[in-house]
Structure 1
Amino acid sequence: MEKKIFMARVADQSERYEDMVDFLKDIVKESGDEDVSNDVRNLLSVGFKNLISAQRSAWKTVQAIEQNKKYAEYSSNCAEYKEKISNELEKNCQKVIDIVNEHCIPKAKEDDAKVFYLKMIGDYYRYTAETATGSKLEEVTENASKYYQQATDAAKDLKPYNSNKLGLALNFSVFWYELKNDSSKACEIAEQALNGARENIDEMENDEARDALSIIELLKENLDLWKEEEGAADDQVEDL
């Protein structure tokens, strides 16, 4: 297994992310009944995210070109190209979801690990939804909501400043804002997470604080933006 972990790191450095994910799939399959280490979990996060980053970026670029009036005569060509990219994105997101569902979640014994994996599945359904339409959009949005809620339930006993719990609040709030178009619910989730972290900040150890504070800043930025859009710019979150 150590050799495959090493090769996953080599694939990461080489920007060969499909290979990286294949190495990681072998690692989680071969871990027996035990969950993988935090280091391997972090590799999973990096490998999976990079696997789809090119497609997410490409789809947004083509969409911007398609919407440019200068290129109106090529809109149908851009639409076809977007669909091709969207299909590739969906395929890779499903690959991630299948790996986590089949080989990671069944081995997760601790709440922290369960939150990490359930949030990850919610994330990849959300990424699929970014480019989906029609019934597929409805399906993946519902699945994202389901897994984010399961992660939220699993996180209830974690410390308010736990980085996985905060990261879940960040991404679940973005889900409500971007896919559900419900800024009030997004603000509610973000504000609850921030208030919990603020009340317990003195209990943080150095490593916890480093991981938590970067997520807290993102939550604050989003919350300020969303409240300003709602016309509530005066109701700002206090600095931590």
Structure 2
Amino acid sequence: MEKKIFMARVADQSERYEDMVDFLEEIIDDSSKDVSMDVKNLLSVGFKNLISASRSAYKTVQAIEQNKKYAEYSSNCAEYKEKISTELEKSCARVIQIVKDKSLSKEDLNDEAKVFYLKMIGDYYRYTAETAKGAKLEEVTENAKTYYEQATEAGKDLKPYNSNKLGLALNFSVFHYELKNDSSKACEIAEQALNGARDQIDEMDNDEARDALSIIELLKENLDLWKEEEGGEDNVVEDI
């Protein structure tokens, strides 16, 4: 187990994220119980980096496609976007399969672990939705909503300043803003999370405060953007 964790770190340092996810999947397979927080953190890093290049590439090609200077190449760009979208969907599907079929099936999961994994599934359906169209877009958007709601239910008894609970509120609010075009619901979720955390902030120890405050800051930044939104301009929002 320790050797595989070490090799996952080596793969991370080497920016070999396919290999990193391979090592992490083996760690999950070898464990009869839920993995440690250390391994969970590696999962977050490995999975996010697995898809980051595709997400970035899609946005870059999309920007070029929309530039009037390159109008004659729009069909070529559209075709290239489809290739990147297929790659992104495949990578997200792999993450979802690992988490859904392997991590969530462990018998010793506490509420915090359930929130972590259910939120992660919601996240990767949301990432798939960023480039999906038509029926596929509707499907993955609904799946993202379902898992975010399940995560919210699983975390109802966690402290309001719990970092996983706050991270869920952050990403679920971004979901409503970006995929549902519902800034009102996004603000509602963000405000509820912020108010709950503020009410009990004095109860946090140093470790809890460090983790929670960084997410609280992102929630505040997004909320300020959404409330100031005028004229329908797109804003860059933050998630984790």
> TM-score scaled by structure 2?
0.95
Cα distance in 2, alignment partners of residues 89 and 29 from structure 1:
24
User: In the alignment, what sits opposite 1:96?
Assistant: 95
Cα distance in 1, alignment partners of residues 22 and 113 from structure 2:
21
Cα distance in 1, alignment partners of residues 230 and 26 from structure 2:
47
Give 1:106-125 correspondences, 5 Å limit. 106-107=105-106, 109-125=109-125
Q: Kindly provide the amino acid, as one letter, of the partner of residue 21 in structure 1.
A: V
Task: Give 1:229 shift.
Answer: 1.2
Q: Kindly provide the amino acid, as one letter, of the partner of residue 200 in structure 1.
A: Q
Cα distance in 2, alignment partners of residues 116 and 188 from structure 1:
21
Q: 1:67 to 1:211 in 2, by over 3 A?
A: same
Cα distance in 2, alignment partners of residues 28 and 15 from structure 1:
21
In the alignment, is residue 228 of structure 1 matched against residue 228 of structure 2? yes
Task: Give 1:109 shift.
Answer: 1.7
User: In the alignment, what sits opposite 2:43?
Assistant: 44
Identity, % of aligned positions = 84
User: In the alignment, what sits opposite 2:80?
Assistant: 81
Task: Give 1:134 shift.
Answer: 0.4
Cα distance in 1, alignment partners of residues 167 and 29 from structure 2:
26
Cα distance in 1, alignment partners of residues 127 and 61 from structure 2:
16
User: In the alignment, what sits opposite 1:67?
Assistant: 66
Please give the root-mean-square deviation of Cα atoms over the aligned residues, in Å. Answer: 0.9
> TM-score scaled by structure 1?
0.95
Task: Give 1:172 shift.
Answer: 0.0
User: In the alignment, what sits opposite 1:237?
Assistant: none
Cα distance in 1, alignment partners of residues 12 and 58 from structure 2:
23
Task: Give 1:230 shift.
Answer: 5.9
Cα distance in 1, alignment partners of residues 134 and 167 from structure 2:
29
In the alignment, is residue 143 of structure 1 matched against residue 146 of structure 2? no
Cα distance in 2, alignment partners of residues 3 and 22 from structure 1:
13
After the TM superposition, list the runs of 4 or more consecutive aligned residues in structure 1 that deviate by more than 4 angstroms. Answer: none
Number of aligned residue pairs: give it: 230
Cα distance in 1, alignment partners of residues 104 and 90 from structure 2:
20
Q: Which runs of 5+ in 1 are unaligned?
A: 232-240
- Measured against aligned partners, the alpha-carbon deviations of 1:175-229 in whole angstroms (never above 9, x if no partner) come to 0000000000000000000000000000000000000000000000000110111
Cα distance in 1, alignment partners of residues 102 and 135 from structure 2:
28
User: In the alignment, what sits opposite 1:4?
Assistant: 4
User: In the alignment, what sits opposite 1:175?
Assistant: 175
SS at match of 2:105: helix
User: In the alignment, what sits opposite 1:198?
Assistant: 198
Cα distance in 2, alignment partners of residues 59 and 184 from structure 1:
28
User: In the alignment, what sits opposite 2:57?
Assistant: 58
SS at match of 2:104: helix
SS at match of 1:157: coil
Task: Give 1:106 shift.
Answer: 1.3
Cα distance in 1, alignment partners of residues 117 and 196 from structure 2:
22
SS at match of 1:132: coil
User: In the alignment, what sits opposite 1:164?
Assistant: 164
